[in-house]
Amino acid sequence: MWLLLRMDTPPDGILKALRSLAIEAQAHRLGNRWAIELQGNGYLPEMLLRYEEVERILPDDTPYPLVQRWNGSVELPSWKRREKLLWIAGPCSVENKAQLLSLAQDLKSLGVHVLRGGAFKARTSPYSFQGLGEVALEWLLEARSLIGLPICVEILSEKHLPLYEQVDILQIGARNMDHYWLLKEVGSTQKPVLLKRNPQATIEEWLLAAEYLLLHGSPWVLLCERGIRTFERSTRYMLDVGAIPVVQRQTLLPVIADPSHAAGHWRYVEPLALSAVGAGAEGLIVEVHPDPLQAQSDSAQQLTLDQFILLYQRANALFSARLGHLTQPV
Amino acid sequence: MWLLLRMDTPPDGILKALRSLAIEAQAHRLGNRWAIELQGNGYLPEMLLRYEEVERILPDDTPYPLVQRWNGSVELPSWKRREKLLWIAGPCSVENKAQLLSLAQDLKSLGVHVLRGGAFKARTSPYSFQGLGEVALEWLLEARSLIGLPICVEILSEKHLPLYEQVDILQIGARNMDHYWLLKEVGSTQKPVLLKRNPQATIEEWLLAAEYLLLHGSPWVLLCERGIRTFERSTRYMLDVGAIPVVQRQTLLPVIADPSHAAGHWRYVEPLALSAVGAGAEGLIVEVHPDPLQAQSDSAQQLTLDQFILLYQRANALFSARLGHLTQPV
Amino acid sequence: MWLLLRMDTPPDGILKALRSLAIEAQAHRLGNRWAIELQGNGYLPEMLLRYEEVERILPDDTPYPLVQRWNGSVELPSWKRREKLLWIAGPCSVENKAQLLSLAQDLKSLGVHVLRGGAFKARTSPYSFQGLGEVALEWLLEARSLIGLPICVEILSEKHLPLYEQVDILQIGARNMDHYWLLKEVGSTQKPVLLKRNPQATIEEWLLAAEYLLLHGSPWVLLCERGIRTFERSTRYMLDVGAIPVVQRQTLLPVIADPSHAAGHWRYVEPLALSAVGAGAEGLIVEVHPDPLQAQSDSAQQLTLDQFILLYQRANALFSARLGHLTQPV
Amino acid sequence: MWLLLRMDTPPDGILKALRSLAIEAQAHRLGNRWAIELQGNGYLPEMLLRYEEVERILPDDTPYPLVQRWNGSVELPSWKRREKLLWIAGPCSVENKAQLLSLAQDLKSLGVHVLRGGAFKARTSPYSFQGLGEVALEWLLEARSLIGLPICVEILSEKHLPLYEQVDILQIGARNMDHYWLLKEVGSTQKPVLLKRNPQATIEEWLLAAEYLLLHGSPWVLLCERGIRTFERSTRYMLDVGAIPVVQRQTLLPVIADPSHAAGHWRYVEPLALSAVGAGAEGLIVEVHPDPLQAQSDSAQQLTLDQFILLYQRANALFSARLGHLTQPV
């Protein structure tokens, strides 16, 4: 590990401090600065930030080696990476069994690869509908076995994990991306995970959350950009399309986008979805409801099946136009 | 409940839709707008946002009635609300029993009201120190009984709750403010809670998290402003001092500030602490470590005991200067 | 104009105050709220915000009537709105006459509709290159007459206006969007304007800046989204792709995007450009330099001609794929 | 100048490129990184950012040497730096001569050091009151000579400069902080300047704007923090109190705060003002109006004279409490 000192700052104080902590260190001059080489350990960096001489710590490794070096495969029936756009769709909350089965059948016929649906919900207000919970999970599993579509369901609490044994992809919602004790347990299931970015997370923090998952056992992680919080509130969140190519420079893990939560209103779901495809997203997760006016959550942003079919066609056309020119997603 | 329609938008479509859902509604004209009066229920509002005619929904009640109407008392030994500044202090992570006991004794002698200390930690990187866990909790409880100082400890997982039975104040950290399933279980313990604001949370979302706690059983909640995330990174987070008087207009629950996490560096802890007192904070929670250079987390921002003593005197002096002029905190 | 009062707030105080200012006002009950109808004038709203009873002011008109009702045509040689993507390209700064003429010829041959180039520059540091100024403008005008490509040049000061008489499109840069005294003078020239969004401006503020231009005489305004400032700094700014369809719901003025300044690095210009096309942008303004390594400003983000040719083809292909499905841009 | 390359990145490519541009460069190894020493010039840095090998450029000097090394004195009648809090107060807009003279007399009697007042205004909407302009300036100058209070007036356009010859302190408003051509001309007048921070400016950008002023001739600059734009809108802007001590570490130029524009409502002006004093501000600029209900701009946030008197006493008391403990402002 190296420390880079501020201009015109002598290294003596920090060398003395390091040595008093029994840390070997050696100073090298770089013009009007000093660089200090030292033998690091886990908690050195924070300590060094107390010293105002230190402008920057240069670690010997990336902060997320597993994410950076991941080179596995993403196994999903009927989806081929780099040939097709990945589609994950379904209702915000599962509210009705017959409705869910019928929608799942429609989505599968259309070509959707994974069914999404909410069982336990994370709601800003304690007075909002909190999801049907266990029974919704049962209906999702029934849809899975009857229709043969893999399912992706958000997990909100370590305590719920036993109920998720047959779920194909565990979803970590935006609000739980930094709930590290949940990440550890979810990783330990060795299931694939869809990891949304927290609306306040930097890209580095998001990738570190993925590192938690890979370190604890997840075979692969779908990184899902879903909008960050900014001063502009005309859309619910601001989709960070630039994050897509930036992340693709850091990792081979697939990056998808969630235009529904970024938009917050059905009218803006399609332009944001097409925008994400333009930026290089490999897939989309979209909220679709047979009758959004009756939906008990996210009513404003869910697409009707007809709206979704249009989006499906347009996004696939854009994805093909993009692929025609590119040998790789970025 | 009332809906306010956009200018020059006829109410017919939405009235028809409401009636088709068997919702009684009546339109009133307001100049070149219409207002619709209706009998609401839990999930009406979201549905109505699908209609672009609707500019605004006017609910019949505040979103957080318990928070707004709370009028209880905050019982803490040796602290009198509106007479003294509330002090909560201690190390980021508990790392060593002897050190903790000695620090706790020093803090108590100085006049600190509550000891804080981390047992399980929420760290951005899976490779960082994750806290000593259960043993750290045991040492904190020992400090509590030996020295007679109430303790405040962050709780990160529903699964850990049984270990926290004797903790005086449960802390919900900034990252868990929107971990609603944890809030429900923490509320059910009927213990007081220190609730930090998530760095991406609006004030309304923060107060809704407090509503979860009160609704599930918490007798009182210390609302703790600790900085939000903005584009400026010269301090770790940006302390939203304006939030203090804004929240005080909404609720009688006490509002305190955490200058340590907002600052991110010991040098800025004092100005931010004094700033919060100026804005009307009723208390401060500060990270103090007997030897910050040796700390295994937040080394850069923890105060030494000497630095803390100066801060303690200065903040109390400012609090008195402020109180001298004011008949109430705001 | 109507005022909407907070729940359970009596209208008496505000009615009395309004009458003391000789303003006619009448109160109407809306359930547990009151609405007050009044005869407004220019500076009423701000005054009313002093009264905490007022939750919301409902004006009788949109804040930007000219922007909302604009229904003119955008006349640019060789570009047909809704049939082709509009291309504006050229170097960040004009640095060399021969280089400029040669690049302009290449861009015109490719199909670019407007040449951009910087004469006077707005630089964050006083020690950075500030543009060649007047001579650069002369070379641009020479390129315009020799090659027959309209030019778009940023104007930074009212004092420079006389030099811009033959410029086809005056550009208001992001930093000057809220320089209202410049907007007034630029509008008075009756020339078309390219108006970039300030990185801190809400959409409403951006459209109000366009209102200034139309009110003072501009025949049309190209609204240009170029990224806002957020906490994420992996791209230079964050392209607000959602703003594109949001603005298109408010006005028929064309909306284009500037991927170069949002990206900040050539590598991310293409994904951001394609993303903007996906979101529905009608055009792109892109920095292109024959030899970016030699460029005296924005070296990192300018495309080489070869990179631009690839982008040109790909963005046009995406635009066609999008148009194939849509009867209108949004 | 030094370049620091990314881990495990060979220096060959960049060395070759530098040499092809006739730049002397030499590579040094730092563990698994390379550092390159080179002879820089003005526009090297941007070019180097095209090379992805370059992680960081280490300049040989601070970006704002004049700001950093400034060590002059701030001459204002009746104010002694580090002994008293500096007070600048007056109406948002000057609307009436008698009212202005009477208010100026009251402020002077109270102990205010500088009178502020708006002549030309920068308004978000073209339909808002734009200031009385020249006549308002005349009244301000009359107040200055009759009452003997220095005046501070915002300057919005280079064209207006001749009217400001007798103004004591030229104010650069938040919106014009990055209007560099105005900064150059304002600096050339060799008058002191009050420089507000743009709500989207980083601290570095703010100090670079001050560098423009010092470089072009300003003898001193009052740096004024007035709130940045974030997602939280319960106050108009978010006062960045942390910026105060951060800036004080970089420069000896005085830092003051504007609680009025940050608050946006009179009720929050006092807590924000006291908060700024707690953080170490050396002065306050506050909007005061004899009858805010009649004010033609910023009505909601202006204090009445009575409210201002209370604030004046309380802020001075806090400033004294703070000074009592400190030998220097920070």
For residue A278, give the nearest of A237, A236, A325, A238 by alpha carbon. Answer: A325
Tell me whether A60 touches chain D (CB under 8 Å): yes
Place of tokens 């859902």: B21
Cα dihedral C62/C66/C70/C75 (nearest 10): -150
Residue A301 DSSP SS3: coil
Q: How much is the average pLDDT of B52-62?
A: 84
Q: Comparing C-alpha atoms, which of B293, D144, D121 is closest to residue A50? A: B293
* pLDDT tens track for B13-52: 889 888 888 888 899 888 888 989 887 665 577 788 888 8
Residue D325: what pLDDT?
A: 63
Of B92, B157, B153, nearest to B128 by C-alpha is: B92
pLDDT (average), residues B83-105: 96
- Tell me which residue in B33, B58, B62 faces C33 most closely, judged by beta carbons: B58
Answer yes or no: are the C-beta atoms of C276 and C257 closer than 8 Å.
yes
pLDDT: which is higher, D259 or C8: D259
How far is Cα C133 from Cα C118, in angstroms, rounded to an integer?
8
Taking the C-alpha atoms of residue A57 and residue A4, their distance in angstroms, rounded to an integer, is 6
C181 and A CB contact within 8 Å: no
pLDDT of residue C43: 59
Chain C: nearest CA to A110, how far in angstroms? 18
What Rg value do the Cα atoms of chain C yield, rounded?
Answer: 23
Which residues of chain B lie closer than 8 angstroms to D263, CB-CB?
Answer: 242
Label residue A326 by pLDDT band (50, 70, 90): low
Residue B243's nearest CA partner among B274, B268, B288, B280 is: B280
Question: Which is nearest to A21 in space by CA: B294, B98, B93, B292?
Answer: B294
> Tokens at residue C83, please?
């049939």
Question: Do the Cβ atoms of D47 and C294 come within 8 Å?
Answer: yes
Check B293 against A159: CB less than 8 A apart.
no
Closest among A90, A76, A105, A78 to A136, alpha carbons compared: A90
Q: Tell me which chain A residue has its CA closest to the CA of residue B44.
A: A296
The percent of residues above 70 in pLDDT, for chain D, comes to 97
Q: Which residues of C touch B37 (CB under 8 A)?
A: 30-31
Residue C327: its pLDDT value, please?
42
Cβ-based contacts of B7 with chain C (< 8 Å): 58, 60-62
Out of A242, A280, A325, the one facing C239 most closely (by C-beta) is A242
Q: Which residues of chain C from 80 to 119 reach within 8 Å of chain D, CB to CB? A: none
Partner-chain residue, chosen from C200, C242, C277, that has the shortest CB–CB distance to A268 = C242
Q: Is the predicted pLDDT of residue A27 greater than 80, yes or no? A: yes
* Nearest Cα residue to A198 out of A131, A151, A258: A258
Q: In chain A, which residues have their Cβ closer than 8 Å to the Cβ of B68?
A: none
If one compares C323 and D226, the residue with the highest pLDDT of the two is D226
Buried b (16+ CB within 10 A) or exposed e, C130-150: bbbeeebbebbbebbeebebb
Under 8 Å between Cβ of D70 and D214: yes
Contacts of A29 in chain D (CB under 8 A): none
- The DSSP symbol for D231 reads S
Contacts of C294 in chain D (CB under 8 A): 21, 47
Average the pLDDT over B155-173 and give the result. Answer: 97
Q: Which two tokens stand for residue C316?
A: 């046009």
Å from A316 to nearest chain C CA? 10
Closest partner CB to B299 (pick from A50, A157, A211): A50
CB D219 within 8 A of CB D206: no
Neighbors of chain D by Cβ distance (3+ pairs < 8 Å):
A, B, C
* Dihedral class, residue B64 (left if φ above 0, else alpha if ψ from -120 to 50, else beta): beta
Q: Which residues of B touch D203 (CB under 8 A)?
A: 232, 234
Q: Are B142 and B153 in contact (CB under 8 A)?
A: no
Tell me, yes or no, if B238 comes closer than 8 A to chain D by beta carbon: yes
Is the CB of C233 inside 8 Å of chain B's CB atoms?
Answer: yes
Q: Chains touching chain C at 3 or more Cβ pairs under 8 angstroms?
A: A, B, D
Tokens coding D141: 């100058």
DSSP state of A302: P
Q: Is B35 in contact with B3 (CB distance < 8 Å)?
A: yes
B56 or D272: which leads in pLDDT: D272
pLDDT tens readout for residues D36-85:
988 766 557 778 888 888 888 888 788 999 999 999 999 999 999 999 99
Under DSSP, the state recorded for B258 is: -
Give the residue-averaged pLDDT of D276-293: 96
A321·C318 Cβ contact <8 A: yes
> Are B234 and D243 an interchain contact pair (Cβ–Cβ within 8 Å)?
yes
> Which residue from B272, B313, B325 is facing D279, i.e. has the nearest CB?
B272
What's the CA gap between C59 and C68, in Å, rounded? 15
pLDDT at D21: 80
- Judged against a pLDDT cut of 50, whether residue B204 lies above it is answered with yes
Q: Considering only the top CATH level, what class is B2-60?
A: alpha beta
Give the distance from residue B328's alpha carbon to the nearest chain C alpha carbon, in angstroms.
20
pLDDT, position B325: 63
For the record, the structure tokens of C286 come out as 């892109």
Nearest-Cα residue of chain B relative to residue D329: B271
Q: Residues near C209 by Cβ (< 8 Å), separated by ≥ 6? A: C172, C177, C178, C180, C183, C195, C198, C201
pLDDT score recorded for residue B194 = 98
Mean pLDDT of each 10-residue bin along chain C, 330 residues long: 87 88 86 84 72 84 94 94 96 95 98 97 93 97 97 96 97 97 97 98 98 98 98 96 97 98 96 98 97 88 96 96 61
D6 in reach of chain A (CB within 8 A): no
User: Strand B151-154 and strand B114-116: pairing?
Assistant: parallel
Pairing assessment for the beta strands A2-5 and A33-38 based on DSSP bridges: antiparallel
B299 touches chain A (CB under 8 A): yes
Please choose, from the candidates D40, D254, D178, D219, the residue with its C-alpha nearest in 3D space to the C-alpha of residue C125.
Answer: D178
Binary contact (C62, B35; C-beta < 8 A): no
CB A110 within 8 A of CB A118: no
Subunit contact B318:D318, Cβ cutoff 8 A: yes
Do residues C258 and C275 lie in contact, with contact meaning Cβ atoms separated by under 8 Å? no
User: C22 CB contacts (<8 Å, ≥6 apart)?
Assistant: none
Spatial distance between the Cα atoms of C67 and C208, rounded to a whole number of angstroms: 8
D13-32: pLDDT as tens digits: 889 888 888 888 899 888 88
Is residue B281 less than 8 Å (CB to CB) from chain D?
no
State the DSSP H helix or E strand holding residue A105, giving kind and residue range, or none if neither. Answer: helix A97-110
Contact at CB, B274 and D271, closer than 8 angstroms: no
Cβ of A17 and B300 within 8 Å?
A: no
Sheet order of strands, C25-30 included = C25-30, C33-38, C2-5, C54-58
Q: What average pLDDT does the segment A216-240 reach?
A: 97
Q: Is A63 on the interface with C (CB under 8 A)?
A: no
Chain B contact probe: residue of D240, D274, D314, D328 with most B CBs at under 10 A: D274
Q: Is C233's Cβ below 8 Å from some Cβ in D?
A: no
* Cβ neighbours of D287 (radius 10 Å): 28
- Residue A47 contacts C, CB cutoff 8 Å: no
Minimal CA–CA distance to A177: which of A151, A150, A215, A203?
A203
Token readout for B50 is 């699908």
Q: Nearest 10 degrees: CA dihedral of C302, C305, C309, C315? A: 10
Helix C180-188 to helix C203-216 angle (10° resolution) is 40
Q: What residue in B sits closest to D244 (Cα-Cα)?
A: B271
Mean pLDDT, to the nearest integer, of A41-56? 77
The residues, ordered by sequence, that sit 6+ positions from D127 with a Cβ below 8 Å of its Cβ are C42, C63
Q: What b/e sequence results for B273-304 when a residue is b if at least 16 CB atoms lie within 10 Å of its CB, and e otherwise?
A: bbbbbbbbbbbbbbbbbbebbebbbbbbbbbe
- CB-nearest to C17 from D49, D122, D293 is D293
Checking if the pLDDT of D151 tops 60, the result is yes
Helices (H), chain B: 12-20, 44-48, 65-69, 97-110, 134-147, 180-188, 203-216, 243-248, 259-263, 266-279, 305-325
> SS3 for B24?
coil
φ, ψ dihedrals at B212, nearest 5°: -55, -45
Chain B residues touching A199 at Cβ < 8 A: 200
Instruction: Return the residue of D nearest to C120 by Cα.
Output: D181
Encode pLDDT of D118-145 as tens digits: 999 999 999 999 999 999 999 999 999 9
Q: Would you give the DSSP letter of residue D294?
A: G
Cβ proximity of B193 and B186 under 8 Å: yes
Q: Do A47 and B292 touch (CB under 8 A)?
A: yes
Domain-wise residue ranges, chain A: 2-60, 66-325
Average pLDDT, chain B: 93
Q: Which helix (H) or strand (E) holds D207?
A: helix D203-216
Ranges of H-type helices in A44-199: 44-48, 65-69, 97-110, 134-147, 180-188
Q: Which two tokens stand for residue B269?
A: 């802890």
CB contact A190 to B (< 8 Å): no
C299:D47 CB<8 A: yes
Q: Check CB contact of A180 with chain B, cutoff 8 Å.
A: yes
CB atoms within 10 A of CB B96: 18
pLDDT tens sequence across D185-225:
999 999 999 999 999 999 999 999 999 999 999 999 999 99
Q: Are C86 and C283 in contact (CB under 8 A)?
A: yes
Q: Which helix (H) or strand (E) holds B152?
A: strand B151-154
| pTM for the predicted model, two decimal places | 0.95
Contact D78, D39 (CB under 8 A): no
Query: Cα–Cα distance between D56 and D61 in angstroms, integer?
Result: 14
Alpha-carbon distances, residue A272 vs A239, B236, C146, C317 (angstroms): 7, 31, 41, 18
Q: Residue A327 pLDDT more than 50? A: no
Task: Give the pLDDT of residue A318.
Answer: 95
The pLDDT value recorded for residue C39 is 77
CA distance A118 to A155: 9
Residue A82 makes CB contacts below 8 A (sequence gap 6+) with: A282, A323, A328, A329
Least confident segment among A224-228, B323-327, C274-278, D152-156: B323-327
Q: Pairing relation of β-strands D25-30 and D33-38?
A: antiparallel
CATH code for C66-325?
A: 3.20.20.70
Task: Determine whether the interchain pair A125/B295 forms a contact, defined as Cβ–Cβ distance below 8 Å.
Answer: no
Stretch A311-328: mean pLDDT: 83
The C-alpha of B255 sits at a distance from chain D's nearest C-alpha, in angstroms, of: 14
Listing DSSP states for B268-280 in one string gives HHHHHHHHHHHHT
Facing B215 at nearest CB: one of A126, A265, A299: A126
Going by C-alpha positions, the residue among A312, A247, A313, A303 that lies closest to residue A280 is A247
Q: Amino acid identity, residue D101?
A: L
Q: Does residue B2 carry a pLDDT above 90? A: no
Chain A with chain B: Cβ pairs closer than 8 A: 138
Among the listed residues C134, C226, C251, the one whose alpha carbon sits nearest the alpha carbon of residue C174: C226
The verdict on a CB contact (< 8 Å) between A58 and D4 is: yes
d(CA C106, CA C96): 16
| The token pair that represents B44 in the structure block | 């009406």
Interface of D with C in 119-178 (CB under 8 A): 120, 122-129, 156-159, 175-176, 178
| Average pLDDT estimate for A189-209 | 98
